[in-house]
Each structure stands twice: as structure tokens, then as C-alpha cells.
Chain A
Amino acid sequence: MSTTTAVVTLDVTTAAGSPSPQGTPRRRSHLRKRLELALLLGPATVLFVAFVFLPLIAAGYYSLFDWNGFGPLVDFVGIDNYTKALGDPLFQGAIGHNLFIVIASLVVQLPLSIALALLLNGNIKGRTALRLLVFTPYVLSEAVTAVIWLSLLQPHGVVDGLLEGAGLGGLVQLWLADQNIVMFTLFAVITWKYIGFGIILFLAGLQGVPEELREAASIDGASGWQTTRLIVLPLLGPTVRIWIFLSIIGSLQLFDLVWIMTLGGPAGASTTMASYLIDRGFRRYEFGFGSAVAIILFVICFVFALFYQRFALRRDTQGAITGRVE
């Protein structure tokens, strides 16, 4: 970050400090640039400050009080809320559930969406229809998805019926009621919903792989698999890194699906950090405590995002956040 500032400052001083032979036009263009920046960034900055930054500060402040949301903030408890949250087995479990979704997404969804994207990128019959089909679940809102799957997954419901019809009755589980199954069920629904997004992203990435390279590879006698492994996949790198970023952030903030399908139950077996936060904040009216949980969630996401951008996305976003490499 500091490099960016340094570079910008340097630019500014050289621009302002050196009397240009052209004089006025140069200065005018500089003014224009500033105006442009102010106009372009202004609205976003106002929204960011009003709806992200200020609430964050407020939450940080509330988190230091034992407060039920009503009346004045009088009961200052310092970092008690934080130690209480981090020491609560239910919250520890929630962090574990989020990590499970993070890892399962990387292990299952990533290879699956790349494979499907490669398949849909090839010349197969009904390609457009298939692309449309896999993308459809992504268009549904998470709440709608949750309500649909909640009804499908009821005991003796549609899913159980289909499995039994296919002679797989032995696989039937209490999808949402069994504490050992519920996270896997939720993960399956998440995958169903978000796989289309990954596929579309990777299809777009595949368009960026120059046809010439594949041609050259095939002239050199590379097999289809070799071309995919040595040419296509490495060139898909930036897209993969972005997908991983979005997937992890999404997994850490998982809420809607869980809240509608299980409310974090049974017995906290599907509680996520966000559902824990809403449950304690809004259902128990523990707004100070809920704010502390929100801050913990924010710090986890923020630190991850910072490190990921700094190290993993460095090459992809060069100059934007990592400083210009001369």
C-alpha cells in the first residue's frame, strides 16, 4: 500500500513542480484529472463511508459494551465480548463449519467447474443450452434456493423419493436433521447453486487462451491432455485465483442458505459465523456481543483478503494495489 502512495506523491510533485514548457495546458489537464478523479470516486466514496466504514466503526464501539440494543450504552465491558465469543464452543464450531465450506469448495467445486468449463468449451451438441442450464441456479436468489431445497429435502420428500425410485433408497438420510449430515447437505446445495458461476467465469477465462498456442502445441505433437495441462490450465491461472478469492470470501460469509434451511441447527451443527452473529444479536437482543462477533468476522475476511491480494493476486492486479513495478 505504502508504495502506491509513494508513487502517486512522486507523480504529483513532478507534475506540479516542474515548470512545463507548455505551461497552462499541462496544468489544466492536471486539474482536469483531479476533477475527474473526484467525480468518479466521489459517489462510491460517499456510499462506502456511509454504509461500510461508519457502521464498522459503530460496530467496533458497540462491541465494547454489554448492550441489548435498547437504551444508552452504559455497561462498558472492554474486550469481554470478544473473549466470550472466542471461548464459546458454539462459535468455535461455527468457525469450523465455515472452514469446512471453504476447503470443500476448493477441493470439490474448483476441479468440477474447470472440468465442466473445458467440456462446455469444446464442440459439443447443444452447447448453448447446456451452458444456460448450468448457469440457471446461479440466477436464483439464495433465499429462493434455500426455500426450494428445504421442501425438497424434507423426510419422505422429493429427494428421498427420487433416490428410492432409482433403487438407491439405502442412501436416504435425514438431510437436514442429522447433525453429522447437515453440513454436507448444505455444501451440496451451495455447489448446486454456485457451480454455474464458476463455469461461466472459467469459460470466459478460456476465451483468453489464444488459439495459436493450441495450434502450435498440436503441430509439435502435443496430445489433447498435454495441451490442456501445459497450456490451457496455466493460462487460466488469473481466473482460478479470482475464483478462489470470491469462493473463500463467500464461504466465510455464508448465511442466507443456512438461516432459511436450518437456522444453524440441529444443536448448532450447521451454525456459521454469520448465523451465530444474527442469532445472538437479533434473537437474543445481545447487540454488543453480536457486534463483537461481526468485528471478528470482518477481521478474518479482511486479513485474508489483504494477504490474498498481496501475495496470490499480485501478478494479476499489478500496479493497481501492489505498487508499480518499474
Chain B
Amino acid sequence: MNTRSIRKYVAVGAVALMSVGALSACSGGGDSADGATKLTFWHNGTADPILSIWQDAVDEYEAANPDITIDVVPIQNEDFATKIPLALSSDSPPDIYFNQGGGLLATQVQSGQVADITELTSSWIGDLGAAAGNWSVDGVQYGVPYASQVVGFWYRTDLFAQAGIAATPTTLTELNDAVDKLKAAGIAPIAVGGKDRWPDAFYYNTFAVRECGEDVLKKGLAEADLSDDCFTKAGQDVIDFIATEPFQDGFNGTPAQQGAGSSAGLVANGGAAMELQGTWDKSVMQGLTDTDLDPLLGWFPFPSVEGGAGDPSATLGGGDGFSCTQKHAKECADFLKFLSSDDIQTKLVESEVVAIPVKEAASASISDSVIKSVYDFNSDAAYVQTYFDIALPTGVGSALNDAVANLFAGQGTAESVAEAVKAAK
């Protein structure tokens, strides 16, 4: 054997060892040797101000609890859906992760990884009021919300004035009038992020809230059976509304929140007059423009639909929160208690990331009159119906979003959403 081949063997051997090393390095994680507990924390606040709020909260918590270190991992919202199932079927899921409750949480609970924190939170969860209910499954608390949300129209006051719209629409007829006036003024009336599909579904969901009585709605969603006539009416409402061509050019290819070309970006930059979105949308819009939106943005609830059986003060909504996984449930629950403190809640409200805090005390710090009107609307709402895709089991919820998106692309009938839900059940 000459020197050259020996060298070759050494090199090959080294490569082989390295690959074995790399493989074994994939496992691991967990607690460090000095007794400190290390938690991983996945949230969806990838942009400021919420990015800093979570980071500051973690820094503060770590300072107060020297035996805990928290590894913060911000993950883009649309990526969460794909990362969570993978993480929950692995041996090392994040200890604290973003969660929207409802049927989505119920589906995740089946993994056996989501921690029951009923007892760990029992002393303080009552302070959060009704909002916490969406994070319990069959009476077991599996998470803690930090914000409530409602869906309504964010609109540009300047563009409404330009089109000569005196008052915000309170009925569907008035909304259609406003759309006509905006079109006549050469303004795209409504922006929608059709590429992401769930913004399309907001229309179907909201129309269903207007068309269906509360009992029919709740029962239909609980049983994933949307065969009642009122759901068909909602489907027809969506088709009729799209037929009035209220949306921006190419809305089926528009993302909801990413970039100036997104639906939020269009409203933020004056490219469209309004958008049916959740309460978080103002902070998303502000992140997509340099203009101060405070004097330019207004909000009004989805108008009443003539002849609908639903309570016009009811609304579509939901919330954001966090869940814990088994391994560090106790530490996680304590951290979540800290996150729902008046102090952090106030910070979230002051930054306008959260319009409807889960702690009533924090609402005192709402300074903006528009945000205050959203908050009051939520307080006075007959009831808040969770987004259908979150309320339903995940597979069914996505099928519903897809079916509504198909309506937006001109495919399907008034019944097709109910049919898609039935097929996915």
C-alpha cells in the first residue's frame, strides 16, 4: 500500500465518521448540564412590533427566573401549518407554541403531545374571561390566548371621502352602493388575498353568520354538516357579491400579508379602499408602508344582510394564543401566566398588535378611537363565531377554504362549500 492510497483511506474514513457524527447530532436538545431548563418558544410574530414584544418578554422572564432559558423561534404565519404537525409527531416538539385554538387545537391534541394545563392554570385562567374557552377541548385546558379578534372591514377614510361616501355601510345594499361609488371614482373597492384562500373564506363565513341563526350555525360546525339552507344562502351571497366585481385586479393571485402587493399592502398604500380582515390587520398594514395610517384608517363591522336569520351584531372572530407540550408543561404554564399579565397585555395593546386584549384591565390603554370602536364592538357582540377553518377539524376546515377559493375563481355552486365539507369529513 503506497502513501497515496493510505491517504485516500484516511480521507474516506474521515468522511464516513463525519456522516455518522452528523446523523447522531440530529438528536439531542433538552436541558443543559448546569440544571437550567431550556424551553423552545415558537411564535408567528416575525415582524415588529410583536417580534420585539415577545423577545422583551422572554428577556424579562429569564431575568426573573435564572434557572430558565428560552429559545425564541419566530416562524412566518403561513409556514406554521406545515411545521406544527411535523413537530408534534417528533420526539422534540417546541415547549411553547403558537395556536389558534378550536378544532385545530382539538386535532393537535390527538398527537398526545399537547399538555393538559387545566390544573396549572386554574388559579388565573378565569381572569381571561370567555376567550379562554376556545383553548379547551372537552373541558380540558390546552392553551392560553393572548388576544381576541373579530373580522370586519378596515377602510381608507381618505378614499371613502374621495368617492363621496358619507357614512360607512350598515347593510349589504349600502356596501354595494359604496363599491359602485368607489369604482366610479376609479378606486379598487375591496382588496382580498385570494392566493392564501383563508381570506376568501372570511366572506363565506361572515355571510353564514348573517344568514344562519346561532343554534343552526353552532350545530352545523360542531357536526361538520353545512346542509342547512342558510349555508346554501351564504354560498349564493358569496357568488352574488363576487359578481358585483368589488375586488382588485387579479385578486386570486394576491397574497394576504406579504409585501406591498398583498391585499394588506394595497390598502396600506392606497391601492384599494377596504379589506375584510381580522383585528391584527392594522399592524400588518402599518408594517407595509411608511405613511402613518392612524389618521387614514377606519373600521366598520360586516353589514347586516337583509332577510338573514343571523343577529347583525354577531361576528366572525377568534384569537391567538399558545399551547404547551408535555415535557415542560409546568414551566410553560408559568411562562404563559407571565405573558397574560396586565403588563404584557398593555404592551400588546399599546403597539396596536392586539386590539382586543384578553385582560380587561389592558383595554384602558387603548388610545386610538378606531381601535376602541373595534374593542367595543367585540364587547357588545351577540356572540363571536370562531373562523370556520379553525372551528372545524383541520382537514375539513382546509377543504372549506379551498371550496370558497374555488367560488372566487368562478368555480362551484351555492352548495359546493357544504359538499366539500361533507366529502372531507
Q: Which A residues fall within an 8 A CB radius of B?
A: 32, 35-36, 39-40, 42-43, 46-47, 50, 68-71, 150-151, 153-157, 174-179, 182, 262-263, 265-269, 278, 282-287
Closest approach, in angstroms, between the C-beta of A29 and any C-beta of chain B?
10
Contact of B15 among A43, A153, A268, A284 (CB under 8 A): A43
What is the size, in residues, of chain B's interface with A at 8 Å between Cβ atoms? 46
Q: Is B77 an interface residue (CB 8 A)?
A: no
Would you mind naming 23 contact pairs between A and B with Cβ atoms under 8 Å apart? A36-B9, A39-B9, A39-B16, A43-B15, A46-B19, A70-B89, A70-B110, A70-B111, A154-B261, A155-B250, A155-B253, A177-B252, A179-B409, A262-B195, A263-B196, A265-B194, A266-B253, A267-B406, A278-B82, A282-B81, A283-B398, A284-B398, A285-B394
Which 5 A-B residue pairings sit nearest by Cβ, starting from the closest?
A176-B253, A267-B409, A177-B253, A177-B250, A266-B252
Contact of A68 among B107, B251, B259, B411 (CB under 8 A): B107
Set of chain A residues within 8 Å of B395, measured between Cβ atoms: 68, 284-286
- Complex alpha-carbon distance, A33 and B411, angstroms: 64
Q: Cβ of A174 and Cβ of B19 under 8 Å apart?
A: no
- Complex alpha-carbon distance, A122 and B313, angstroms: 74
Set of chain B residues within 8 Å of A267, measured between Cβ atoms: 252, 405-406, 409-411
Q: Cβ of B110 and Cβ of A68 under 8 Å apart?
A: yes
Set of chain A residues within 8 Å of B1, measured between Cβ atoms: 32
Set of chain B residues within 8 Å of A68, measured between Cβ atoms: 107, 110, 394-395
Q: A265-B197, A286-B395 are in contact. Are A70 and B248 (CB under 8 A)?
A: no
Q: Is B222 an interface residue (CB 8 A)?
A: no
For window 234-255 of chain B, which residues contact chain A by CB distance below 8 Å? 248-255
Set of chain B residues within 8 Å of A35, measured between Cβ atoms: 9
Q: Which B residues fall within an 8 A CB radius of A?
A: 1, 5, 9, 12-13, 15-16, 19-20, 23, 81-82, 85-86, 88-89, 107-108, 110-112, 194-197, 248-255, 259, 261, 394-395, 398-399, 405-406, 408-411, 424
Set of chain A residues within 8 Å of B251, measured between Cβ atoms: 177
- Complex alpha-carbon distance, A52 and B139, angstroms: 43
Q: A69-B85, A154-B261, A284-B394 are in contact. Are A174 and B250 (CB under 8 A)?
A: yes
Contacts A154-B254, A154-B261, A284-B398 known; 18 new A-B pairs at CB < 8 A: A39-B9, A39-B12, A46-B20, A68-B107, A68-B394, A69-B111, A71-B110, A154-B253, A155-B249, A174-B252, A175-B253, A176-B250, A176-B252, A177-B251, A263-B195, A266-B253, A267-B411, A284-B424
- Complex alpha-carbon distance, A263 and B197, angstroms: 9
Set of chain A residues within 8 Å of B253, measured between Cβ atoms: 153-155, 174-177, 182, 262, 265-266
Q: Cβ of A177 and Cβ of B254 under 8 Å apart?
A: yes
- Which single residue of chain B is at the shortest CB-CB distance from A44? B19
Closest approach, in angstroms, between the C-beta of A243 and any C-beta of chain B?
30
